[in-house]
Amino acid sequence: MTKPKVLIIVGDATETVDTLYPYYRIIEAGMEPVVAAPEKRLYQMVMHEVKPGWTITKEWEGYTIQANIAFKDIKPEEYIGIMFSGGRAPEYIREDEDLIRITQWFFDHNKPIASVCHGVEIPARADRVKGRKMATVAKCKFDLEICGGTYVNEACVIDGNLVSGRTFHDNGHYVGPWIKLLEAEAAK
């Protein structure tokens, strides 16, 4: 029996903790995480933190992660859910036409979706946040609201099939409810 597959969207400068925590939780739930990116290759993740006294985010290298599949090769119907990780990657990959197509499919088919931090920039660019409530890092509030979404400053925001958190500090709050949605989807 094959395990249900879940997409994790990354690119260079994807936030390490935003990505690895849900990656391992998916495995723990008996599902298969599939790392998707612009190309099938190794990607450099980063760590982000606003240090005390700083007004901007400090960034330094984190672990690397291998993409299992390129966006252009994804058939969304083969996956039960999708996760948009944070970091700077969403800013750069959100213009990818295949990623937009995939993102729209998951929203349009009401599949379990998770987003954290800058991950919101992808569904916002795909025109799928209008009328939706989401958490995101405060500096992405504008991206969400200009595209018709509603910013909620909470550790876990659930809006139907969409579960979101502000930063990796919220992982323990929003990933669990998203996993429950994935389990319900897998049971169908």
Walk along the chain (188 residues) and give the pLDDT tens digit of each residue: 789 999 999 999 999 999 999 999 999 999 999 999 999 999 999 988 777 777 777 777 889 999 999 999 999 999 999 999 999 999 999 999 999 999 999 999 999 999 999 999 999 999 999 999 999 999 999 999 999 999 999 999 999 999 999 999 999 999 999 999 999 999 99
Give dist(CA 145, CA 139) in Å, integer. 11
- Order of all β-strands in the sheet with 42-49: 14-15, 42-49, 58-66
pLDDT at 182: 98
pLDDT at 55 (0 to 100): 74
Contact 132, 162 (CB under 8 A): yes
Picking from 126, 133, 132, 119, the residue whose alpha carbon sits closest to that of residue 105 is 126
Q: CB burial class (10 A; 0-12, 13-18, 19+) of residue 184?
A: exposed
- At residue 116, the pLDDT reads 98
Architecture of domain 5-186: 3-Layer(aba) Sandwich (3.40)
pLDDT at 178: 98
